[in-house]
Amino acid sequence: MTDFDADEAIAPLTTARPRPKYRSQRSDRILAAVGVALAAAAAAFPWYVFFNEEKFGIRIAGWEQLNDLPPGSAARRPFSVSPLATPDPENRLAAPPAIDPVVTATVSSIGEVKEDAPLLQELQPMPGRSGFRLLHVANGRALIEDGNGMYMVQVGSILPDDSRLATVEQRDGKWVIITSKGEIYTAPQ
């Protein structure tokens, strides 16, 4: 015989009323019904989105209206730079200075003349053409690519070489874009 066998049953200190069984079953049923309804809605919502794409799709801000622009519209006119952006004639430099102020850390060879070598004028290295290229043209927009990625541009957009897109036109069956700097980029066929 153990200590547990000798214990007597003791009545509880408080007399709690027993809960009615039907109340707990009703709340369980309500929770189950809400769960089933939520699961049904979660299963049906993707199908609703699939069949009603026009309500949920990405809205393109009016690009489709650029398909057939009238000839006199602002988007068809060539882009021009504002006269306020060009420097005044009195502020322009007459001629570049004859001395190159850039320090190159070379040893001077004044007085040494090679008689058999032709005199070549050294040209100041200038940055070349920017690295973007025209990929495709559609609906008045152009797709360009440079080292940082691909961009969709339209007339007036700033290009990677800090110029603006002046016109998008077709020449000899190929699409070309012309920048505000006058550079012409041709799309591959």
Contact 168, 137 (CB under 8 A): yes
Contact 154, 141 (CB under 8 A): yes
Q: How far apart are CA 158 and CA 160, in angstroms?
A: 7
Sort strands 133-138 and 174-179 into parallel, antiparallel or unpaired: unpaired
Give the residue extent of every domain in the chain: 21-53
Positions in the chain short of pLDDT 50:
none
Q: Quote the pLDDT of residue 32.
A: 95
CA dist list (Å): 1 to 8, 9, 152 = 14, 17, 90
Task: Write down the pTM of the prediction.
Answer: 0.35
Q: How far apart are CA 168 and CA 184, in angstroms?
A: 10
Cβ contacts of 164 within 8 Å, gap of 6 or more: 79, 81, 156, 157, 158, 179, 180
Q: Quote the pLDDT of residue 79.
A: 60
Q: How many residues does the chain have?
A: 189
